[in-house]
Chain A
Amino acid sequence: MNEKLVLREAEREGILTKNALFSSGVIIAPAVAACKDFYSGVILASVFTVVTFITVILCRFVPRKIVYTVRIILYTLVASLVYVPVHLFFASGEILSEMYAAVGIYAPLLITNSLITLRTESKFYRLSLPYMASLVSFYIIGYDLSLIVFGTLRGFLTSGIILGVKVLPFSIPALSNTYGGFILLAIISAAFRWFIEIISGAYSSRRDSI
């Protein structure tokens, strides 16, 4: 396969077919409980991006001779240390700190996300470094986009307002609750799967022709 096609495969896997939130259903808690609007989506996505990318790349160099148990503890420890400057950055800005405080413990909880604790060992570290880096990036982009779309849609449906303008004639305030988050996630996830099914057919036939 040529390099462009390999990258396209990684992009498709990370963003679409194995999208962490909508397809695989992992790292659900921050989305359901804390991602209530566009801003909280951006804050969570930023924390997730920095913590996950740096941790996965750094921990790639942890010797495989170390037993699995200790390796996993090291990965999570590295993630918790990477989280410290991220926390300081968000907690220091006046506007940022308010939005950051609103996501509560869900930001530090991202240090045990399954891309770090499970996918590193089961997938990422079995690949070459350049391909792994691009695949991890696409997984992160996929999750970030999902969080932001989910948060924006949730905020919009909760208030009926977008960019300060009342657009919807109704609002569903219950969606801001945890149960509302679960229900909305289920609906978006089903719609996403349906969309993937449709484009998968088109993609396969196009790939066969290359």
Chain B
Amino acid sequence: MAAFLEILLSALTAVTLENVILTSAIGTSTLIECAKKPHQLLSFGAFITEFSVLSSLLAFFAEKLLKNETARLFLPSIYVLSLGLVYVLTLLVIWFGARKYFRKLKKYVHLSAFNCAVLGCLFNNGLSGAELPQRLLYAAEVGIGFILAAYILAINYEKLSSDKVPAAFRGFPLSVLYIGIISMIVYSLKI
């Protein structure tokens, strides 16, 4: 039990301190959108995690095929195609496996597919040149980190958008300020 708790704590520390949103701002706009509807957090985060992990897997093998420098210029297109393939496959799996939920789930799939959090994960993985297990782990961290950051924002989103807040700061500016303060805390914990 102690070992399990230790692993859990290490994972939580990694997800917090290496949180891609809080440390590099990638996916912030999607995060703010997501925090407006807290009941969607888990579904949305699950799809972001799925997209990050599966497209990292595809991109890893696709990158192996690009041998020369000229071909590597098209890496962004390769990442887009990897994401696109996961996007279509996900919709097909939901259509054939859980058709009655298709209408409800497809909006999460659409929003999760092409956003900076997922694409940023692919670019960072490509730059790191890491092996497949590390890449998949990082991709999972991005997804889980997204859920954590979205949760932190969602618990206070109503207050941040309250009528009591001066109109100029209400909503977006105060949410960004709030994320900035959380980001500062994470930064101070890291050093």
Contact = CB atoms under 8 A, between A and B. Distances in A.
Contacts, number: 140
Interface in A1-54: 24-29, 32-33
Interface residues of B, number: 47
Interface in A151-210: 177-183, 185-187, 189-191, 193-194, 197
A137 interface: no
A24 B24 CA distance: 20
B187 A178 contact: yes
Contacts of B29: 25-29, 114
B186 to A, nearest CB: 8
B115 A112 contact: yes
What is the predominant secondary structure among interface residues of chain B facing chain A?
helix
B2 interface: no
Contact of B80 (A73, A185, A186, A190): A73
Contact of A191 (B28, B114, B168): B168
A197 B167 contact: yes
Nearest to B188: A179
A76 B83 CA distance: 10
A189 B173 contact: yes
Interface string A100-132: 000001001101101001000000000000000
Size band of the A side of the interface?
35 or more
A107 to B, nearest CB: 10
B161 interface: no
A83 interface: yes
19 contacts: A27-B29, A28-B29, A29-B28, A29-B120, A32-B28, A69-B88, A76-B80, A76-B84, A80-B77, A84-B76, A179-B181, A182-B179, A185-B173, A186-B173, A186-B176, A190-B168, A190-B169, A193-B173, A197-B167
Interface of A: 24-29, 32-33, 68-70, 72-73, 76-77, 79-81, 83-84, 87-88, 105, 108-109, 111-112, 114, 117, 177-183, 185-187, 189-191, 193-194, 197
Task: List 7 tightest A-B contacts by C-beta distance, closest first.
Answer: A182-B180, A186-B177, A73-B84, A179-B183, A25-B172, A179-B184, A32-B25
